[in-house]
Amino acid sequence: MNEEKAVDSYQNLGPDEILNAIESTGLECDGCIFALNSYENRVYQIGIYESEPVIAKFYRPARWSDEAIREEQEFTIQLAEHEIPVIGPLVNDNGETLHQHEDFRFSLYPRRGGRPPELDNPEHLQQLGRFMARIHNVSGAEPYQHRPTLDPETFGTECNIFLLENNFIPMELETAYRTLTEDIMKRIYQCYDRAGDVSIIRLHGDCHHGNILWRDDSPFILDFDDARMGPAIQDLWMFLSGDREYMTERLADLLEGYSEFRDFNMSELYLVEALRSLRIMHHSAWLARRWSDPAFPMAFPYFNTQQYWEDHILSLREQAALMDEPPLEWNRY
């Protein structure tokens, strides 16, 4: 497939192309299409004649290989086989989960409703801890073969270089940004050194409250599109926010549940603020890399303004200070 043509087709994906793609799988659409809140991929709720709607995810070209997408989907199927509540892809009669129609790669998912978890609710956090431990027990059994590792080089250094080389940083802030990010990266590597040798396992990778649905008094996890290898704490720290005292209390709830099903390496707590810093830098680079997609300037008008970069630099300065503090503590007994 011509990559440039595929990207152009993707950016101009319209109702006719969507319906034709879905009906190529043998489903009969009723013509109802509802766009869902997604930017990296195009995601729609599709009405199906005399049946429940399905969720269609159209994959952004040139991001993941077919092998990487199938590997992520196979992982969710593994989780379901272990009776872990996960919203995985629909499998057709030929055992396929990834479909191709003209220039478009897509998958279909069942529609599931729910509400976000209550991250200030100790019971919810304990359940989330048990839930993530069960996922990690499965994910730790074997590595991804076609997906990268979340590390400081790819989520930090490469992102900073991209922003500088492509002139996203305003000239008057460039020196401050360059100096600060060099210092931030040193501190991140120091955090990794303090953590020592931590296990690298298959991750969800983007495990925040928006990717958890609470239904029937238990969590369901969805959207493994950012799945990659990394330390277990990456799938836990995004449930923590607020000041140090508040995060310590929430961490205790989370790890109380987690430790019921899986041992937690306390050394990984040295990585919490390092991973948060990497996420901040990676997010800005992600927006910059997608800025040529017309959907992004409309969805993120604040990005690439003077104020955005000033706030970004301020956030990184705050992270630099946080990485100098001792890690969060969990006093189990």
**pLDDT tens digits, 238-249:** 999 999 999 999
Q: Which CATH number fits domain 122-323: 1.10.510.10, 3.40.50.720, 3.40.250.10, 1.10.760.10?
A: 1.10.510.10
- Which of 8, 183, 197, 223 is the catalytic position? 223
* Residue 149, strand partner residues: 229
**Alpha helix (H) ranges present in 140-233?**
152, 158-165, 171-195
Q: Which region, left, alpha or beta, applies to residue 114 given φ > 0 means left and ψ of -120 to 50 means alpha? A: left
Closest CA to 173 of 5, 270, 310: 310
Instruction: Give the pair of three-digit tokens for residue 282.
Output: 């990676």
Alpha-carbon gap, residue 203 to 231, rounded angstroms: 8
Q: How far is CA 6 from the centre of its chain?
A: 24
**Model's pTM, two decimal places?**
0.95
Predicted local distance difference test score (pLDDT) of residue 323:
97
* Residue 214, strand partner residues: 115, 219
Closest CA to 269 of 322, 224, 310: 322
Instruction: Give the pair of three-digit tokens for residue 140.
Output: 């730790």
* Residue 57, strand partner residues: 43, 107
**Residue 220 belongs to what H/E stretch?**
strand 218-221
Q: Order of strands, edge to edge, in the sheet holding 29-35?
A: 29-35, 42-48, 54-58, 104-110, 99-101
Active site residue 206: yes
Instruction: Judge whether 3-110 and 122-323 match in fold.
Output: no
Q: 42-48 and 54-58 as β-strands: parallel, antiparallel, unpaired?
A: antiparallel
Alpha-carbon gap, residue 156 to 239, rounded angstroms: 21
Predicted local distance difference test score (pLDDT) of residue 206:
96
Active site residue 225: no
Alpha-carbon gap, residue 28 to 47, rounded angstroms: 9
- Which of 103, 151, 206, 225 is the catalytic position? 206
Alpha-carbon gap, residue 2 to 138, rounded angstroms: 37
* Residue 105, strand partner residues: 100
Instruction: Give the pair of three-digit tokens for residue 117.
Output: 């978890």
* Residue 220, strand partner residues: 213
Q: Which architecture characterizes domain 3-110 according to CATH? A: 2-Layer Sandwich (3.30)
Q: How far is CA 267 from the centre of its chain?
A: 23
Predicted local distance difference test score (pLDDT) of residue 238:
97
Long-range contacts at 251-254 (CB < 8 A, ≥ 24 apart): 251/328, 251/330, 252/330, 252/331, 253/122, 253/125, 253/126, 253/129, 254/125, 254/126, 254/128, 254/129
Predicted local distance difference test score (pLDDT) of residue 246:
95
Kindly write down the DSSP assignment for every residue of 36-84, as one continuous string: -S-SSSEEEEEEETTS--EEEEEPPTTTS-HHHHHHHHHHHHHHHHTT-
Predicted local distance difference test score (pLDDT) of residue 333:
59
Question: Which residues of the chain fall below pLDDT 50?
Answer: none
Alpha-carbon gap, residue 294 to 302, rounded angstroms: 14
Instruction: Give the pair of three-digit tokens for residue 110.
Output: 């069942």
Predicted local distance difference test score (pLDDT) of residue 10:
86
Residue 300 · residue 287 · CB < 8 Å: yes
Question: Domain locations in the chain?
Answer: 3-110, 122-323
